[in-house]
Amino acid sequence: MSYWVLVRLTQYLLGVALPNSLFIQENAVIIGPISFEFLLFLVNQISEYVLLGVAILGSVAARKYSSVHDSMKALNAAGQVIHPSKDPKVEKYHKEKYRIFSELYEQQISHRSLMDQALS
């Protein structure tokens, strides 16, 4: 899935997980360490994402639009709007999950360093 930032904190979504609005809503909580009141996800109406990407790049290459951003604005159409979950438990859950991930990552770096020292 790719996230395209268009204006301010609006995210434009393309990808195979789009039919799952809960997945997108959870990602909104994970991505948005900022005030959720200003975070918004727009799901594209177009189902052929690869063709849309080619059309965007092709229109810039053919000089129909001056930038990829301008082409994206012109060729994309918002379908569904998804807001992050406002449940504080969901945000707390993902923060704890990230904290655990960070600790495990630091441990992995430390363990790798120890093993590298043992082999040198």
Confidence (pLDDT) at 6: 36
pTM of the model: 0.45
- pLDDT, one tens digit per residue, over 16-73 is 445 566 777 776 677 665 444 556 666 666 777 788 888 989 999 999 999 988 988 8
> Alpha helix (H) ranges present in 6-86?
21-31, 49-61, 68-75
Q: Would you list the domain boundaries of the chain?
A: 2-86, 87-120
> Higher pLDDT residue, 61 or 5?
61
Q: What separation, in Å, do the N-terminal and C-terminal C-alpha atoms of the chain show?
A: 41
Q: Is the pLDDT of residue 10 over 50?
A: no
Confidence (pLDDT) at 64: 96
Q: Give Cβ neighbours of residue 111 (< 8 Å, ≥ 6 apart).
A: none
Q: Is the pLDDT of residue 78 over 70?
A: no
Backbone angles phi, psi at 41, to 5 degrees: -115, 130
